[in-house]
Amino acid sequence: MHTIDVIGKFPEATPSKVSKELMVTLGTVTTSLNNLERKGYIERIRSDQDRRVVYLHLTKKGRLVHRLHKRFHKAMVERIIDGMSPEEKKVMGRGLTNLYQFLEDLK
């Protein structure tokens, strides 16, 4: 699912971009891409300018799964913060910002 999420976020996604975003090896990404392509969620398209470059695109089926996954995450976050006080939301926001920055620094 994470691979589909990255491809959905970046219109010009490549296997290297997915590898970097997910912080996994290119071999791991290749295995995942092979499975997703076989199941009809993604397609690989070679660049017209440089045939060595492969772009990844979600198929119609892949876009549907991506949208459903985003809705699931949105609903999950809404359920978590529902009932929190403004101060609790503020503290959680700071914590998530710190976590995000930490993960970005690992890239």
Structural domain boundaries in the chain: 2-82
pTM for the full model? 0.79
Q: Residue type at 92? A: M
pLDDT reading at 17 higher than 80: yes
Number of neighbours of residue 66 by Cβ within 10 angstroms = 19
Distances (CA, A) of 71 to 13, 43, 67, 78: 22, 23, 6, 11
Per-residue pLDDT reduced to its tens digit, 53-64? 999 999 999 999
- Closest among 28, 26, 57 to 41, alpha carbons compared: 57
Please say whether the structural domain 2-82 has been given the CATH code 3.50.50.60.
no
| Per-residue model confidence as pLDDT tens digits over 44-99 | 999 999 999 999 999 999 999 999 999 999 999 999 899 899 999 999 999 999 99
